[in-house]
Amino acid sequence: MKRNFVFILIGAIGLTFAACASKSSTVTNQTGPAYELENLPKVNIKDFKKNSAGAYVLFDGSSLNGWRGYNKNHVPNKWGIEDGTLKFSKTPKGVDKAEGGDIIFAHDFKNFELEFEWKISHAGNSGVFFLAKEVKGQPIYVSSPEYQLLDNQNHPDAKQGVDGNRKSASLYDMIPAKPQNSFPAGEWNRAKIVVNKGKVTHFQNDEKVVEYTLWTPEWTALLQASKFSQAKWPLAFELLNNVGGKTKSGVIGFQDHGDDIWLKNVTVKVL
């Protein structure tokens, strides 16, 4: 059956942000490199509906209200709605000038339970970010932990890293998800990320697979053993070692890694 693609541009998002102009503020740090944070519009989570479990519905299958591109004031048109799912399309149909990029829900969350379902294309790669800051000129993962989304059977990243720490639901390049219980490409997986006062837990298909605590010596050691070490990437090390900044909060985002991915039932319960 032919699928209908609906690609949502900024004019059809259904939400008027308070401001459209991009501003930035310089962050000075005597112990590390300086960087700039974008000051783009945010939404009030209280304006969104809750489900029967008391979680805010971030994506209801019909609207991209509250979403925009990372470091952008609009939704890149490679993201859209297909058959009630939030989809990233590598080659979207009916689009003259395709624009990609990561997508975020424009609200800073601190302590929360994020739940969603996802399926990936053959040999596909994507990820989920949280407590992220919008850093000028930098990718989202420079400041955010990543819950990996991957076709473990066919994507080469599954065989890289250490002990499977780049497979699905892993804390990317740091802690492998165990047990590794993801379903194959084209099948729906259930994901849950709990962040509560620095303790982070990853769930995959209803099983706890990863646990760690931010802002601890153990967290710093994990960073130092990864691609985000102080020696390899000083800015990423600084930002990730202080995830969430002074407020210990940040945005939630999904990754454009160039492969088709579908998402649905995206909810957040504020703790």
Per residue in 62-103, pLDDT (tens digit) is 999 999 999 999 999 999 999 999 999 999 888 889 999 999
If phi over 0 gives left and psi between -120 and 50 gives alpha, with beta otherwise, what is residue 94?
A: left
Residues 24, 95: Cα–Cα separation, whole Å: 31
Interior CA angle at 238 toward 235 and 239, to 5°? 85
| pLDDT above 70 for 144 | yes
- Taking residues 36-64, what's their average pLDDT? 96
Nearest to 61 by CA among 263, 269, 252, 254: 263
The mean predicted confidence, pLDDT, of the chain is 91
Q: What is the pLDDT of residues 171-224, one digit of tens each?
A: 999 999 999 999 999 999 999 999 999 999 999 999 999 999 999 999 999 999
The per-residue pLDDT for 93 is 87
- 8 Å CB contact between 215 and 243: yes
Question: CATH number, domain at 174?
Answer: 2.60.120.560
pLDDT of residue 95: 85
DSSP 175: B
The boundaries of the domain holding residue 171 are 5-15+23-92+99-270
Rounded mean pLDDT of 127-147?
98
Q: Are 200 and 192 in contact (CB under 8 A)?
A: no
Contact between 15 and 21 (Cβ < 8 Å): no
> Residue 3 — pLDDT band, cuts 50, 70, 90?
very low
DSSP-derived pairing of the beta strands 67-69 and 85-88: unpaired
- d(CA 129, CA 236) in angstroms, rounded, equals 14
**SS percent in the chain: helix, strand, coil, step 5:** 10, 35, 55
Residue pair 102/256 in contact (Cβ under 8 Å)? The answer is yes
* Lowest-confidence region among 15-19, 69-73, 109-113, 267-271: 15-19
Confidence of residue 21 (pLDDT cuts 50, 70, 90): very low
* Nearby residues of 1 by Cβ (< 8 Å), 6 or more positions away: none
Number of structural domains in the chain: 1
